[in-house]
Amino acid sequence: MKPFFKMGCSVTKACSYAGMPQSTVATWIKADEVLRLKIGIWQNEPSVMARSNWLAKLAEGDYESAKEWLRRKEKDEFSERQEVTGADGKDLPVPILNGIYSDNSTEKDSSTQEED
């Protein structure tokens, strides 16, 4: 099961891949604090390796890595956010479609009505 944990799998996924009942692993973890800690370390290895690789590229002057670091760590200043609320969290204004407010959109425009 260790290889599954080292890929970052949860206990549920690791048990599923290994064909082992989750209750068995839960019993082992409950009885063995060291095993529980090791599983946590193994599960974090992919994230640690990815962070290490990312920081190495950043140190090499990789512009894209630097931008990504800033977007994630300095969100207030560098994130590419899309605001989905109006000012101060209020509702957005009603959109205007073809010069007519959307709440009037159920009325047919006289130019689009078919003649009988």
Between CA 93 and CA 21 the distance in angstroms is 53
Provide the pLDDT for residue 43. 93
Q: Is the pLDDT of residue 104 over 50?
A: no
- Written as one letter, the residue type at 48 is V
Q: With 50 as the cut, is the pLDDT of residue 52 above it?
A: yes
Which pLDDT belongs to residue 72? 80
Paired with 100 in beta bridges are 97
Residue 13 has pLDDT above 90, yes or no: yes
Report pLDDT for 76: 76
Is the pLDDT confidence value at 116 over 90?
A: no
Q: How far apart are CA 48 and CA 56, in angstroms?
A: 12
Closest to 83 measured CA to CA, from 72, 93, 69? 93
Give the integer Cα–Cα distance in Å for 88 and 104.
27
Residue 95: predicted pLDDT: 65
| Helix or strand (DSSP H, E) at 5 | helix 2-6
Cα 93 to Cα 1, 6, 48, distances in angstroms:
54, 49, 44
